């Protein structure tokens, strides 16, 4: 079982602004195996039987062991196609042609909302104001508890402090190099109003929520 990707694959993904699958997932494990120096660039080709054996050894359950090898990184990365039915990742890494076109479109549109630094600064400025209000509220609640202990006030205080910690952990303390281009609503297209640089928290919740440009969860997906 792989715990991380090769550093040059991570660097490539950051450079072209694509998200790698979670390493501890079927797709992540398949990509990690394909990206190993001894396997990529036609050094060695993974066979269909090896895909089955690999997932059995790593205890990752899947009904189709071939799919994550046949379509690495959600079919974004190019395989060497000289041996059909066998799998070796192109190296140096390449995006598939259709994804190159999409990426050019995405890169162009996202900058209509400002540079990466400008967008991050705007989001953090917004959340810094919110966290200041929450911290003031927490201070008032704590003063109330010092005067008189009330369970409902204590629960309120816990919720607010938890919210403050969440903001720092997932927004304010996230370094710029971890922010990537993504959609506010994954079901919509690559129009500028739907594309922003965003912290990793968006990817974690995108299947359940729709976000605004400040990455507040504004709507629960049905």
For residue 93, which of 156, 16, 180, 23 has the smallest C-alpha distance? 16
Question: What string of DSSP letters covers 58-83?
Answer: HT---S-SSHHHHSHHHHTBPBP-SS
CB neighbours of 22 closer than 8 A, spacing ≥ 6? Answer: 28
Q: Kindly state the tokens that stand for 18.
A: 């694509």
Note the pLDDT tens digit of each residue in 46-83. 999 999 999 999 888 888 999 999 999 988 899 998 78
**pLDDT value for 65:** 93
- 92-123: pLDDT as tens digits: 998 886 555 556 566 677 778 888 899 999 99
Q: Which of 68, 35, 65, 69 is CA-nearest to residue 53?
A: 65
Count CB atoms within 10 A of the CB of residue 160: 20
- Whole-angstrom distance, CA of residue 189 vs CA of residue 204: 19
Q: What band does 127 get if pLDDT is binned at 50, 70 and 90?
A: very high
- Report the pLDDT value the prediction gives residue 25, as an integer from 0 to 100: 93
Place of tokens 């549109």: 109
Q: How many CB atoms lie within 10 A of CB 74?
A: 14
List pLDDT tens digits, range 175-205. Answer: 998 888 777 776 677 777 888 888 887 556 6
Written as six digits, the tokens of 121 are 């600064």
CA distance 36 to 4: 11
3-state helix, strand, coil in the chain (%, to 5): 55, 10, 35
């Amino acid at each position: 079982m792989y715990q991380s990707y090769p550093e040059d694959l991570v660097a490539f993904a950051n450079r072209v602004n694509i998200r790698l699958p979670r390493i501890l997932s079927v797709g992540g494990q398949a990509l990690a195996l394909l990206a190993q120096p001894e396997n990529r660039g036609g050094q060695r080709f993974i066979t269909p039987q090896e895909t089955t054996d690999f997932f059995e050894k790593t205890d990752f359950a899947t009904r189709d062991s071939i799919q994550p090898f046949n379509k690495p990184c959600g079919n974004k990365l190019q395989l060497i196609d000289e041996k059909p039915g066998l799998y070796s990742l192109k190296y140096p890494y390449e995006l598939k042609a259709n994804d190159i076109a999409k990426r050019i479109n995405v890169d162009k549109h996202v900058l209509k909302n400002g540079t990466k630094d400008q967008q991050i600064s705007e989001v953090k400025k917004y959340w810094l104001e919110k966290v200041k209000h929450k911290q003031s509220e927490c201070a008032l609640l704590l003063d109330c508890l010092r005067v008189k202990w009330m369970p409902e006030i204590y629960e309120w205080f816990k919720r607010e402090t938890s919210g403050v910690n969440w903001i720092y952990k997932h927004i304010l303390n996230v370094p710029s190099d971890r922010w990537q281009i993504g959609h506010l609503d994954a079901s919509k297209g690559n129009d500028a109003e739907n594309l922003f640089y965003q912290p990793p928290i968006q990817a974690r919740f995108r299947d359940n929520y729709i976000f605004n440009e400040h990455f507040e969860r504004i709507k629960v997906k049905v």
